[in-house]
Amino acid sequence: MRELIRKHKVGEKVTFDVIRAKKPTTVRVLTAESPTQSDVAVVGITLGKGFRYEPEISFDFGQRIGGPSAGLVFALAIYDKITPGPLLDGKHIAGTGTITPTGEVGAIGGIQEKIAGAEKAGATAFLVPSANCKDLAGLSTDLTLIKISTLEDAIAAIGTLNSSADPGQLPHC
């Protein structure tokens, strides 16, 4: 930014697009002479590191989906948006789990009901938090139940399902 400002002459106006009170606005600032170099244009701002930006992120899925048990699936959706190529590659994969900032997937309640709902919706595989494997006793399903502990595990499992590799290689509950 400093280099862009210095391309102007002393006394010229520089246009800045800024956000004030969460609203974009344009500000024109007159350059002044640098206190140390009379032929260098400066403006009355200080550039430095340390700015904190805490964006507000919102997703609208057209349904009331949310809660901590959707954490893993939301993280996978974000990963899919910010990486090249489709993550699911046309596959119908479901999953659940809380997620920590470090990507650890945690247990949720109602796992058997969520698996039944995913199967009814046409899913072929379900990502199960490893801590919930103990809750699957007596469950009968045609879904491939894949045990995961981290977001990285989930991404790798989806990659395996998208490849020609044998899904039997994946960790199961």
Distance CA 131, CA 149 (A): 8
Tell me how many helices (H) and strands (E) the chain has. Answer: 4, 9
| Domain boundaries for CATH 3.30.230.10 within the chain | 68-164
* Residue 168, pLDDT score: 80
Instruction: Indicate the angle between helix axes 71-82 and 151-162, nearest 10 degrees.
Output: 60
Rounded mean pLDDT, 160-169: 84
Global pTM value: 0.63
Count other Cβ atoms within 10 Å, centred on residue 31.
19
Catalytic residue among 13, 114, 140, 149: 114
Of 22, 49, 58, 69, which residue is the catalytic one?
A: 69
Amino acid at 85: G
Q: Which has more pLDDT, 20 or 60?
A: 20
To the query of whether residue 34 is one of the catalytic residues in this protein, the response is no
Residue with tokens 């058997």: 112
pLDDT digits (tens, 9 = 90+) for 129-163: 999 999 999 999 999 999 999 999 999 999 999 88
Which numeric CATH code is attached to 68-164? Answer: 3.30.230.10
Residue 114 annotated among the catalytic residues of the structure: yes
pLDDT band for position 58 (50/70/90)?
low
